[in-house]
């Protein structure tokens, strides 16, 4: 399998710093998606004055490609054990938090509570500790939840291609794996120990999940670690490379901003809401078909303000503590949530903005081989008769 080899981070930073305003204006006036150089021009300091035009173009493209739909999902934290030491994360092995890994029954109970609350898309999340939560347990959980949810996604430790394929067969359709930062020097500084220390290995994981046949793969950068403009260009490059290699796979991009967490890590660089909005607009212009995720890390007011302008997927009613939906008294969160509204409240807000909240836009039946075979044979006579 070929590998994504990003250019030096500093080289992209220098390119960005020197990009002229006219380049960004040309991109905004054009009718085609820009190259990475065009994306760099949009994110350059010279183009700061073009934010309103970027918002407008992002809004237009989002309506064209996605209509007025906003998909809703909720995360379920399965385990906060982690063998890595990431300076910015509450689950880091060095933090003295209360640790817990859900049993299969507890996982199903948390999932059913979210189902009762109206969720049909869920994301299973865990720290990276394979001995506490292995592929076998994820597979069992997926099989228990088959037919209950429209889609089950995962954000867990990196797996082998054959393990992703096993999980896909069990009903998991989507994998999120974030590089955190595309700046190798910063990556080394914030990843103190554990498997995640290996920048190049981490960079390969999204391609591995796509090669295994996952329907959707999510990538992202954790904002607040290194220069956000350069992270945006590198994310765009990674996305474009993945699209070229895996044209059958759908891709999403997330821009999690650092939140207060156990360990007290302070962002190394400030990233304002305006900067985050700019990144979202620019990625939408760069790739009009990519799904853009805005999670409950962000505040209610920012999330409401961004409705219709670019993001296509929102989490709601989230809890980042394993077992925390059924037991709100549990501690050991990954980070503090910024938007505490329930699913119903987020749905009301989406409607108030003239958009359609969508709790189900996929069904597991679409991925089952036997069902596809049945559909084909059912329709064969009709097709033959025409």
Structure token pair of residue 349: 């807000």
- Span of 38-46, 82-90, 114-122, 287-295 interacting with ligand SF4 by CB under 6 A: 82-90
CB closer to ligand SF4 out of 74 and 125: 125
- CA 375 – CA 371 distance, rounded (Å): 6
Q: How far is the CB of 237 from ligand SF4 (least distance, A)?
A: 23
Q: How far is the CB of 315 from ligand SF4 (least distance, A)?
A: 17
CB closer to ligand SF4 out of 91 and 314: 91
Candidate list 196, 208, 259, 313; residue touching ligand SF4; CB under 6 A: 196
Structure token pair of residue 48: 């700061």
Of 119-138, which residues contact ligand SF4 (CB under 6 A)?
127-128
Candidate list 27, 82, 111, 242; residue touching ligand SF4; CB under 6 A: 82
H helices present in the chain, as ranges: 9-18, 21-29, 36-43, 51-66, 104-116, 135-145, 161-170, 184-190, 199-211, 228-245, 273-286, 300-306, 343-352, 369-385
Does 216 engage in binding with ligand SF4 (CB under 6 A)? no
- CA 287 – CA 112 distance, rounded (Å): 35
- Asked if 246 contacts 253 with a C-beta cutoff of 8 angstroms, the reply is no
- Adjacent-strand bridge partners of 357: 70
Q: Which residues contact 200 (CB under 8 A, 6 or more apart)?
A: none
Q: How far is the CB of 176 from ligand SF4 (least distance, A)?
A: 11
Backbone angles phi, psi at 181, to 5 degrees: -145, 140
- CA 222 – CA 16 distance, rounded (Å): 20
Q: How far is the CB of 126 from ligand SF4 (least distance, A)?
A: 7
**Conformation bin of residue 279: beta by default, left when phi > 0, alpha when psi is -120 to 50:** alpha
**Any idea what the Cα angle at residue 261 is, between residues 258 and 265, rounded to 5°?**
70
Structure token pair of residue 296: 């409950």
Q: x-or-dash pattern for ligand SF4, window 42-71, by CB under 6 A?
A: ------------------------------
Does 92 engage in binding with ligand SF4 (CB under 6 A)? yes
- Asked if 157 contacts 138 with a C-beta cutoff of 8 angstroms, the reply is no
Give the SS3 label for residue 373: helix
- CA 16 – CA 39 distance, rounded (Å): 9
Q: How far is the CB of 99 from ligand SF4 (least distance, A)?
A: 12
CB closer to ligand SF4 out of 262 and 364: 262
Does 23 engage in binding with ligand SF4 (CB under 6 A)? no
Candidate list 12, 54, 78, 86; residue touching ligand SF4; CB under 6 A: 86
Q: How far is the CB of 331 from ligand SF4 (least distance, A)?
A: 16
Q: x-or-dash pattern for ligand SF4, window 94-113, by CB under 6 A?
A: --------------------
| # residues near ligand SF4 by CB under 6 A | 9
Does 91 engage in binding with ligand SF4 (CB under 6 A)? yes
CB closer to ligand SF4 out of 84 and 312: 84
**Chain residues in the site for ligand SF4 (CB under 6 A):** 82, 84, 86, 89, 91-92, 127-128, 196
């Amino acid at each position: 399998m070929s590998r994504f080899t990003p250019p030096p981070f500093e080289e992209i930073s220098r390119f960005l710093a020197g990009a002229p305003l006219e380049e960004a204006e040309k991109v905004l006036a054009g009718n085609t998606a820009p190259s990475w150089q065009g994306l760099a021009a949009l994110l350059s300091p010279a183009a700061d004055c073009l934010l309103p035009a970027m918002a407008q173009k992002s809004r237009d493209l989002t309506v064209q490609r996605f209509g007025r739909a906003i998909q809703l999902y909720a995360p379920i934290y399965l385990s906060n054990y982690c063998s890595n030491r990431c300076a910015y994360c509450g689950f880091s092995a060095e933090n003295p938090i209360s640790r817990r890994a859900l049993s299969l029954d507890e996982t199903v109970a948390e999932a059913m509570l979210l189902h009762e609350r109206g969720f049909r898309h869920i994301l299973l999340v865990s720290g990276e500790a394979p001995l506490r939560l292995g592929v076998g347990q994820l597979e069992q959980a997926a099989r228990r939840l088959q037919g209950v949810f429209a889609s089950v996604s995962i954000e867990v430790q990196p797996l082998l291609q054959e393990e992703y394929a096993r999980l896909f067969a069990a009903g998991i359709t989507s994998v999120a794996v974030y590089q955190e930062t595309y700046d190798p020097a910063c990556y080394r500084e914030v990843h103190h120990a554990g498997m995640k220390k290996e920048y190049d290995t981490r960079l390969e994981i999204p391609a591995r999940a796509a090669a295994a046949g996952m329907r959707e793969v999510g990538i992202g950068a954790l904002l607040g670690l290194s220069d956000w403009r350069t992270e945006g260009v590198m994310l765009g490059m990674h996305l474009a490379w993945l699209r070229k290699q895996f044209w059958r796979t759908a891709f999403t991009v997330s821009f999690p901003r650092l939140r207060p967490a156990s360990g007290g890590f302070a962002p190394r660089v400030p990233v304002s809401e305006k900067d985050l909005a700019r990144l979202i607009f620019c990625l939408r212009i760069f790739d009009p078909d990519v799904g853009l995720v805005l999670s409950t890390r962000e505040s209610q007011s920012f999330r409401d303000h961004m409705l219709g302008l670019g993001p296509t997927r929102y989490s709601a009613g989230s809890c980042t503590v394993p077992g925390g939906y059924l037991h709100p008294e549990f501690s050991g969160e990954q980070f503090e949530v910024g938007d505490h509204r329930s699913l119903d409240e987020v749905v009301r807000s989406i409607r108030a903005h003239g958009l359609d909240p969508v709790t189900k836009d996929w069904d597991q039946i679409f991925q089952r081989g036997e069902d596809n075979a049945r559909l084909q044979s059912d329709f064969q006579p009709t097709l033959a008769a025409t």
